[in-house]
Amino acid sequence: MARPPQKPGEPRRPRAATGSKRPFNSRSGKPEDRSGGEKGRYGNDKGRSGGDKIRSCGDKIRPGKDDARGNAPRKPRTARPAAAPPTPRDPSLPEREGERIAKLLARAGVASRREAERMIAEGRVKLDDEPITAPSTVLKDLRGVTVDGKPVKAPEETRLFVFHKPAGLLTAERDPAGRPTIYNALRNALPAGTGRVMPIGRLDLNTEGLLLLTNDGEFKRQLELPANGVPRTYRARAFGDITQAQLEDLIDGIEIDGIHYGKIDANMERRTGRNQWIEMTLTEGKNREVRRVLEHLGLKVSRLLRISYGPFVLGDLPKGTVGEVSQRDLDNFRRSLGKGKGE
């Protein structure tokens, strides 16, 4: 039935509901297109269970503006006090020649710096058959150094690999319980002749996606240090009730059980009933950080995958396979980290 004409000066009447309830995209402020058939921003959907397709769902909400669902503007971030400047070097001290033994071993790909320090404490590292007792021992090079009685080779050129880790693999060299590790899959995935590689960061047993591998323990440490601010992006499928406003509050960090988690950029990608895909970018990478934060918000995570680490993306790399980053791209990235960070 037609409505009577509106009188001059009368407040505008709201439109009647049409009855159509298309799924709403909280990121773009538009109804979600669920027509299907679109290829995801992060590659195809091969190997994904349940027919779920991971798609981009519009633009992110701009900070400081209300979204179409009426969420309040993002809270202004409080400025944190600047870090104290480093203590200047005493000019009266002689210049140090060489590097610490733990750092040299890490650079040579023997182990990470922390693992190298443990090897030294166990008496496994020797110089001319004499045990090295302190990880702070400074050497010019690794000539005469042995680990478990084997001479340490000169460092090779730094290499970086991208591995698509499937769920169900431990990010460890071995497991006392006999569960499969990433190295079981890497035996046949790495190029022939590749030496020892180490994972940069970790992924939980049931977390899948991008895992970076390198032969350079010092480079590994640079990428893992929160001080260097290398972003990691994850996508989580979670069950429960959550709003975009709650996710945006994570930009200021959150404390859970006495543990502080820093800035997290989180956005709702799409929702079906009480299931939703959430994208989260962080720089700390604390143990089980994404799962703990989402569980704290009342969500149950059913699937979690990492899609990028710094500028390196998972793309269409099939599960269980490895791709190598070109030397040019690797060099450009290392320069972007800056000299002296994390040292």
- By annotation, the residues acting in catalysis are 204
CA distances from 67 to 110, 113, 264 (A): 51, 46, 19
Q: How far apart are the first and last CA of the chain?
A: 75
SS3 151: strand
User: Rounded to whole angstroms, how far apart are CA atoms 22 and 270?
Assistant: 12
Which of the 8 DSSP states describes residue 279?
E
Residue type, 268: M
Q: How far apart are CA 293 and CA 253, in angstroms?
A: 10
Q: Which residue has the tokens 């870090």?
A: 83
* Alpha helices in the chain, H assignment, sequence order: 101-107, 113-121, 182-189, 217-224, 244-248, 289-296, 327-337
At CB < 8 A and 24+ separation, what contacts does 139-147 make?
139/98, 139/99, 139/101, 139/104, 140/97, 140/98, 141/98, 141/104, 142/104, 142/105, 142/108, 145/101, 145/104, 145/105, 147/105, 147/110, 147/119
Give the ranges where 297-339 is alpha helix by DSSP (H).
327-337
Question: DSSP character for 35?
Answer: -
How far, in Å, CA of 295 to CA of 274, rounded?
Answer: 14
